[in-house]
A and B are shown apart, each in its own frame.
Chain A
Amino acid sequence: MKVFRSHMLLCGGTGCHSSGSIEVKKALIAELVKRGLSEEIKVVETGCNGFCAMGPIIVVYPEGIIYVMIKPADIPELVEEHLIKGRVLQRLLYKEPVTEGIIPTMQDIPFFALQDLRVLRNRGLIDPEKIDEYIARDGYDGMAKALTEMTPEEIVNEVLASGLRGRGGAGFPTGIKWKFAAASPGDVKYVLCNADEGDPGAFMDRSVLEADPHAVLEGMVIAAKAIGAHQGYIYCRAEYPLAIHRLNIAIAQAEEYGLLGKDILGTGFVFDLEIYQGAGAFVCGEETALMTSIEGQRGMPRPRPPFPAVAGLWQKPSILNNVETLANIGQIILRGAAWYAGVGTEKSKGTKVFALTGDVNNVGLVEVPMGTTLGAIVYDIGGGIPDGRKFKAAQLGGPSGGCIPVEHLNAPVDYETMVELGAIMGSGGLIVMNDEKCAIDMACFFMDFCQDESCGKCTPCREGTKRMLEILTNITLGKGKEGDIELLEEMAIIIKDASLCGLGQTAPNPVLSTIRYFRKEYEDHILRHRCEAAVCSALFKSPCQHTCPIGMDIPSYIALIREGRLEDAYKILLRTNPFPSVCGRVCDHKCQSKCRRGKMDEPIAIKFLKRFITDNIPRPKIETVPVTREEKIAVVGAGPTGLTAARDLALRGYKVTVFEELSEAGGMLRWAIPAYRLPRPIIAKEIADIRALGVEIRCNTRVGRDVSFARIDQDFDYICLAPGAHKSQKMGVPGEELLGIYGGVEFLRDFNTHENAWMKGEKTLGSKAAVIGGGNSAIDAARCAVRLGADVTILYRRERKDMPAAVEEITAAEEEGIRIEFLVAPVSIIEKNGRVSGITCRRMKLGEFDRSGRKKPVPCEGSEYTLDVDAVIAAVGQFPDLSFVPKESGVSVNKWNCFDLAEGSASQTTNLKFYAGGDAVTGPDTVIGAIAAGHQAAKDIDGAIRAQKCEAAYEEPAEEKIVIPFVLDEENPEAPQAKMPEVHGNERKQSFIEVELGFTREEAGKEAARCLRCDVEV
């Protein structure tokens, strides 16, 4: 045999062919010829390597270096560097998406390292068109053993003992199927291979056939011996031309070598094999339909019994096994059942191949032991979700399966668990979906597939799937009706129960499973016309507006910025938002996460554009609204919720009095968010406008201290409770009561109350401070602490990607010199002279997934270490202080120290006179969430008053008509989001001047022009 210095294994599966590996191969061969290396270097085109996201791939042996995403233009450099100079070409190596670390060798890449290859053991290693390479890897050894040393009963028993179950999806034990067929009388029997892989997103079988076709042939010969068959068919879909090509080569080579056909291996055993090309009907994956199709008839299922083991193809005893099932057989016979059953779970043995696709970094083909958790497949092997998005669900089993949501990431993937969770193992399609996918839209997709692929024979499947699709489609179009969910459930159960074959019996699964896990989304669509994922575009004008909790008309004000009509833009802002200049600075801009421009390059800077409007023209003048209604309304708490409610009620003609404990109104905006993010005059102006409407704000008046709860109850007709969540959670470690330990919000409030004292050094954190937590409060506290001269370390118990704080805040903190230590949790506080002098921490590692889809940190025992600090700020969560609410008031408070709402109401408490909103109901949330809650409470209070008086519902006064311009851009070239100009350096670190400077007119105009105007129908 000819010896080469180096082997270059180039992926030649259909996936890599499509990403250009044929061109790469040509370039490589040409380059080797040019350099005179053809005799030294061997190029091997293998089947699918599995790492499809990174294709085309070349693995160079003996070093095992893997190069990814190679283009033909890279070849000269690759040959020069690697093959001639002996240097690894860094730029083509694999980069880990989260850590960005470079990994040169295949076995060290987590995608490969965590897999267990049995079915795919030859993938990327052998040339599938050369039988010798298969034989060199123990190929046909299992068959030889079966033909020469084993009786049919022994083969069946070995397969039975291995616990192998049908990999086509249903999981019927392969050994039992064989046993039945072996027991069926008759001298004509058939072995059939189902290669009619048709699930959307599934390509396991194709890859096996393309990478290792002989493994399937070997399995079929063994099966033939086991049941006494002499003829076999591989039913392969015609859309797999490469698989068919390689199968044909494999069959011809095996026949030539005496491994197939007459007198196999001289044993006298005969087995002939033919390929039958399927014409592309999904239903032909069903066994009886497949057999009908081979018989030359229309591929429609027949009723069972008789089962194929008794009367299958041409009414003769037949077995039908999936490609992956058959590819396991040779190894089971060769290495024994015990070896095979050595991995997996009690009832699901061996490994399973998954085609990992969808919203996952490492799209590709993976093989893992049965029982591997879904989270391990998606995150550890799959590399998690791209663009830092959240995992929503994974669809297993394609259109016949179901989805598994985030709360079940720890579920072991095996037959039983999947069924328990409402999915099925399926043939191995695993489609990952992020939070931008709508559950109903997804159910619609799969139902559309099934109704289209239904053969039309039986009524439930033919008509039922069509009607279910109709109902689902109506829901996505906003035409859903109450009762639709129940009707869908009823239909689903009957269709599953009454359909003729597996297609109809499983078609409703995606609907049932999305209803099971995402019922609220269905209800949102039907009752509230809301699509949380902003997918069902018939329900909204634009995704940004739909996502905004108060429905700000974003496309309109952006269009007006582009035209330079800022006055009109400001009016649009104020229609829905009393705090646009605040939100232009500190909103968490959920709108941007759904911006469709983000799918093209980067989302529009909606928040900054909003700020640009409020920065650049004076606020429209506010007139006092006359009091026209007799009811008096009190609002407790002058934060964004309370003030929004007060404003809305004042606009409707009510006399509103706001009670505020602190010396100034604004709540968290004034007392927690530092001035470098939100300068005080900005808030003051917006609050002044609310006062100007006629709202009375009584500061320094705490309910329960300065005025009694009973008094308010007596003096006012309705009360809106919006006290916020101003108390920090404790860390729960010894020493927490020491001097120098602060709660996050308490520290921020203290600083904001005694700013002068802090700035002059009368109050100090000392030289070193630790901040515990990863949310926005933690970052606010840390960045304040830096400005007070402390050296700050943030300790966070999870990883960076799990931090709830805004990404831009984290980056800003780091720029200001703040260190963030990840996977660390406090254990105890060290005391010196009654003050904190240090904090003992423990390293954490990531364990199982929690319900939020993040891995739970678990302590590493013995990893304790101490950090010397003068102050500790614990920003690990907040809760409301509702001690002012007397128990006898009838306003009930729940175990999270939040208000309980009356059944079915969005703001009414359990005492019908009292309404509540904001953080005091939801726990700590965003400014925009608080404003939305204020709107809700005002609407509900007004609605209750009018309902009681039998008055018509409130009608908004007619709005001034503002014509929204539209410029049709012929081209909208890719351009990143405009960068916000910032103050940098010491000036920023040593003062509380605003860090972000705001867009110039030019920047704003340009950014506004990036908007794709999803609101316009052309």
Chain B
Amino acid sequence: MGKTVPLTIDGKDVEAASGQNILEVAHEQGIYIPTLCHYSRTTNVGACRVCVVEVEEAKSLVASCCMPVSPGMVIRTNTPKVRDARRLIVELLWASGDHNCLNCEQNGACELQNLIYWLEIEKPRFPIEHPGYDVEKTNTMIQRDLNKCILCGRCIRACNEIQVNEILDFSQRGSRAKVGPAFDTDYIDSDCYFCGECADACPVGAITFKQARFAGRPWELKKVKTTCAYCGVGCQMDLNVHDNRIVKVTGNRAYEQPNWGSLCIKGRFGLDFVNHPDRLKTPLIRTEKGGELAEATWEEAYAFIAEKLTDIRKENGPESIAGLSSARCTNEENYLFQKFMRAVIGTNHVDHCARL
């Protein structure tokens, strides 16, 4: 490494890093090359072919996402031949399925839609065919509509390479090829963990979040970056908020550490408690045995706790008190909790729910 590779891209002489592919070099140079199957930090498979470019002396067009640069390469990313190929490919994809944007959750955030617009395609020259798959609605989290699938394979790589759950792959051949779990079952009947990585990866409306169905168009949603409250890992995520309600949770590949955009089932789908009527919003105190819980202020609550703990410690000694902390707390909070139990209460009876 460290060695640079001289090449020419769209008439510009540049130095690329050894091992880079054409797509990476183009993006560094501010040259837009459209992609569909490319998904960051997964294998480049060269499947969709919309990123094809011309390379001098190559026999045919080459997929820029998986062609490593070599010294002296002369690359052209925007020739009539390249444009014609991209247009035909996108036309074919458009006509291949039920790409009806009217009620599609991805309308406005769909990579195929954007590409059609960018390529200025009025309509495909081929009759649009509805593949006739049943929409999978058998679970409460992920909705799969294979009629919209463009077979880019991103969900498969997300499942196998990012999450390493190895649930998804292609079955069948040719235009009948489809993505799914083994034996073509529904997600709910497979070993799927419902991490939702596939839905995050899907560039079109084939895999979507079921809770978000009809809950807001992409441009109405406000993305709020936050840290997942479920455990101490501290996964970064985007809450997609509409009318002050969380509609869905998406990962963001740009957020890097600690989760690089990946989430688990809890962070992804477990946030409906936020707006739940049963959610605890203030401390509650039961003052009499068998009596009703009554709302209290934090000051009242802390005072009540301090008073009770002090009394118990006084009466029965510190060994009569045990503390149980939560896995949803951060490490720092757990540290403080045990410190409090040992130094203030004076007991070693301290534990954590994750051990239960």
Chain A hits for B126, CB < 8 A: 467, 470
Whether A463 lies near B175 (C-beta < 8 A) is: yes
Whether A500 lies near B153 (C-beta < 8 A) is: no
**Interface segment, one of A350-358, A448-456, A696-704:** A448-456
Whether B85 lies near A458 (C-beta < 8 A) is: no
**Interface segment, one of B59-67, B264-272, B339-347:** B59-67
Q: B174 touches which one: A454, A470, A490, A496 (CB < 8 A)?
A: A454
Q: How far is the CB of B46 from chain A (nearest CB, A)?
A: 4
Chain B hits for A494, CB < 8 A: 84-85, 88-89
| Residues of chain B in range 77-116 having any CB-CB distance to chain A below 8 Å | 81, 84-85, 88-89, 92-93, 95-96
Whether A459 lies near B45 (C-beta < 8 A) is: no
Whether B170 lies near A300 (C-beta < 8 A) is: yes
Say whether B330 faces chain A, with CB atoms less than 8 Å apart: no
Whether B68 lies near A305 (C-beta < 8 A) is: yes
In the complex, residue of chain A having the shortest beta-carbon distance to the beta carbon of B175: A466
Known contacts A305-B68, A490-B84; A456 and B92 CB within 8 A of each other: no
Chain B hits for A491, CB < 8 A: 88
Say whether B169 faces chain A, with CB atoms less than 8 Å apart: yes
Whether B48 lies near A458 (C-beta < 8 A) is: yes
| Residues of chain A in range 455-494 having any CB-CB distance to chain B below 8 Å | 455-460, 462-467, 470, 487, 490-491, 494
Q: How far is the CB of B174 from chain A (nearest CB, A)?
A: 4
Q: How far is the CB of A483 from chain B (nearest CB, A)?
A: 9
In the complex, residue of chain A having the shortest beta-carbon distance to the beta carbon of B46: A303
Whether A463 lies near B85 (C-beta < 8 A) is: no
Whether B174 lies near A457 (C-beta < 8 A) is: no
In the complex, residue of chain B having the shortest beta-carbon distance to the beta carbon of A461: B174
Known contacts A303-B63, A305-B68, A498-B52; A463 and B93 CB within 8 A of each other: yes
In the bound complex, what is the Cα–Cα distance between A498 and B84 (angstroms)? 10
In the bound complex, what is the Cα–Cα distance between A458 and B47 (angstroms)? 4
In the complex, residue of chain A having the shortest beta-carbon distance to the beta carbon of B60: A497
Q: Map CB proximity to A onto B26-49 as digits: 1 under 8 Å, 0 otherwise.
A: 000000000000000000111111
Whether B151 lies near A456 (C-beta < 8 A) is: yes
Say whether B173 faces chain A, with CB atoms less than 8 Å apart: yes
Q: How far is the CB of B7 from chain A (nearest CB, A)?
A: 16
Whether A459 lies near B61 (C-beta < 8 A) is: no
Q: Map CB proximity to A onto B128-170 as digits: 1 under 8 Å, 0 otherwise.
A: 0000000000000000000000110100000000000000011
Q: A460 touches which one: B49, B67, B177 (CB < 8 A)?
A: B49
In the bound complex, what is the Cα–Cα distance between A457 and B48 (angstroms)? 8
Number of B residues near A (Cβ < 8 Å) is 37
Whether A459 lies near B175 (C-beta < 8 A) is: no
Chain A hits for B92, CB < 8 A: 459-460, 463-464, 467
Whether B125 lies near A462 (C-beta < 8 A) is: no
Whether A456 lies near B60 (C-beta < 8 A) is: no
Q: Map CB proximity to B onto A488-516 as digits: 1 under 8 Å, 0 otherwise.
A: 00110010111110000100000000000
Whether A454 lies near B175 (C-beta < 8 A) is: yes
Whether B174 lies near A499 (C-beta < 8 A) is: no
Say whether A298 faces chain B, with CB atoms less than 8 Å apart: yes
Whether A303 lies near B60 (C-beta < 8 A) is: no
Say whether A281 faces chain B, with CB atoms less than 8 Å apart: yes
Say whether A302 faces chain B, with CB atoms less than 8 Å apart: yes
Say whether B287 faces chain A, with CB atoms less than 8 Å apart: no
Chain A hits for B81, CB < 8 A: 497
Known contacts A303-B45, A303-B63; A456 and B174 CB within 8 A of each other: yes
Whether A500 lies near B47 (C-beta < 8 A) is: yes
In the bound complex, what is the Cα–Cα distance between A470 and B174 (angstroms)? 14
In the bound complex, what is the Cα–Cα distance between A453 and B176 (angstroms)? 11
In the complex, residue of chain A having the shortest beta-carbon distance to the beta carbon of B152: A459
Q: How far is the CB of B113 from chain A (nearest CB, A)?
A: 16
Say whether B172 faces chain A, with CB atoms less than 8 Å apart: yes
In the bound complex, what is the Cα–Cα distance between A866 and B157 (angstroms)? 85
Whether B153 lies near A498 (C-beta < 8 A) is: no
In the bound complex, what is the Cα–Cα distance between A303 and B48 (angstroms)? 12
Chain A hits for B48, CB < 8 A: 458-459
Q: How far is the CB of A198 from chain B (nearest CB, A)?
A: 13
Q: How far is the CB of B305 from chain A (nearest CB, A)?
A: 59
Whether B60 lies near A496 (C-beta < 8 A) is: yes
Whether A456 lies near B173 (C-beta < 8 A) is: yes
Q: How far is the CB of B165 from chain A (nearest CB, A)?
A: 17
Whether B175 lies near A462 (C-beta < 8 A) is: yes
Q: Map CB proximity to B onto A853-890 as digits: 1 under 8 Å, 0 otherwise.
A: 00000000000000000000000000000000000000
In the bound complex, what is the Cα–Cα distance between A467 and B89 (angstroms)? 11
Q: Which of B48, B170, B175, B177 has the most CB of A within 10 A?
A: B175
In the bound complex, what is the Cα–Cα distance between A494 and B66 (angstroms)? 19
Chain A hits for B151, CB < 8 A: 456-457, 459, 462
In the complex, residue of chain A having the shortest beta-carbon distance to the beta carbon of B97: A463
Q: A459 touches which one: B67, B89, B127 (CB < 8 A)?
A: B89
Whether A458 lies near B49 (C-beta < 8 A) is: yes
In the bound complex, what is the Cα–Cα distance between A496 and B81 (angstroms)? 12
In the bound complex, what is the Cα–Cα distance between A463 and B129 (angstroms)? 11
Whether B173 lies near A500 (C-beta < 8 A) is: no
Whether B170 lies near A463 (C-beta < 8 A) is: no
In the bound complex, what is the Cα–Cα distance between A459 and B91 (angstroms)? 10
Known contacts A456-B170, A497-B60, A499-B49; A451 and B88 CB within 8 A of each other: no
Q: Map CB proximity to B onto A290-318 as digits: 1 under 8 Å, 0 otherwise.
A: 00000000101011010000000000000
Q: Which of B60, B67, B89 has the most CB of A within 10 A?
A: B89
Whether B85 lies near A281 (C-beta < 8 A) is: no
Chain A hits for B52, CB < 8 A: 497-498
Q: How far is the CB of B30 from chain A (nearest CB, A)?
A: 24
Chain A hits for B49, CB < 8 A: 458-460, 498-500
Chain A hits for B67, CB < 8 A: 303, 305
In the bound complex, what is the Cα–Cα distance between A24 and B147 (angstroms)? 56
Chain B hits for A463, CB < 8 A: 89, 92-93, 95-96, 175
Whether A460 lies near B89 (C-beta < 8 A) is: yes
In the bound complex, what is the Cα–Cα distance between A277 and B96 (angstroms)? 33
Chain A hits for B89, CB < 8 A: 459-460, 463, 494, 498
In the complex, residue of chain B having the shortest beta-carbon distance to the beta carbon of A491: B88
In the complex, residue of chain A having the shortest beta-carbon distance to the beta carbon of B36: A459
In the bound complex, what is the Cα–Cα distance between A128 and B45 (angstroms)? 43
In the bound complex, what is the Cα–Cα distance between A1013 and B63 (angstroms)? 55
Chain B hits for A500, CB < 8 A: 46-47, 49, 63
In the bound complex, what is the Cα–Cα distance between A470 and B129 (angstroms)? 12
Whether B88 lies near A453 (C-beta < 8 A) is: no
In the complex, residue of chain B having the shortest beta-carbon distance to the beta carbon of A304: B66
Whether A455 lies near B47 (C-beta < 8 A) is: no
Q: How far is the CB of A307 from chain B (nearest CB, A)?
A: 12
Whether B95 lies near A457 (C-beta < 8 A) is: no
| Residues of chain B in range 162-211 having any CB-CB distance to chain A below 8 Å | 169-170, 172-177
Whether A457 lies near B45 (C-beta < 8 A) is: yes
Q: How far is the CB of B307 from chain A (nearest CB, A)?
A: 66
Whether A453 lies near B174 (C-beta < 8 A) is: yes
Whether A459 lies near B93 (C-beta < 8 A) is: yes
Q: Which of A298, A453, A460, A465 has the most CB of B within 10 A?
A: A460
In the complex, residue of chain A having the shortest beta-carbon distance to the beta carbon of B54: A497
Whether B60 lies near A452 (C-beta < 8 A) is: no
In the complex, residue of chain A having the shortest beta-carbon distance to the beta carbon of B94: A463
In the bound complex, what is the Cα–Cα distance between A496 and B93 (angstroms)? 17
Chain B hits for A470, CB < 8 A: 126-127
| Residues of chain A in range 274-299 having any CB-CB distance to chain B below 8 Å | 281, 283, 298
Given contacts A303-B66, A462-B174, A464-B88, 9 further A-B contacts (CB under 8 A): A452-B174, A454-B174, A457-B47, A460-B89, A463-B93, A467-B92, A497-B60, A499-B49, A500-B63
22 contacts between A and B (CB under 8 A): A283-B173, A451-B174, A456-B174, A456-B176, A456-B177, A457-B151, A458-B48, A459-B50, A463-B93, A463-B95, A466-B174, A466-B175, A467-B126, A470-B126, A491-B88, A497-B52, A497-B85, A498-B89, A499-B49, A500-B46, A500-B49, A505-B60
6 nearest A-B residue pairs (beta carbon): A456-B177, A463-B92, A303-B46, A303-B66, A454-B174, A466-B175
Interface residues of A (CB under 8 A from B): 281, 283, 298, 300, 302-303, 305, 451-460, 462-467, 470, 487, 490-491, 494, 496-500, 505
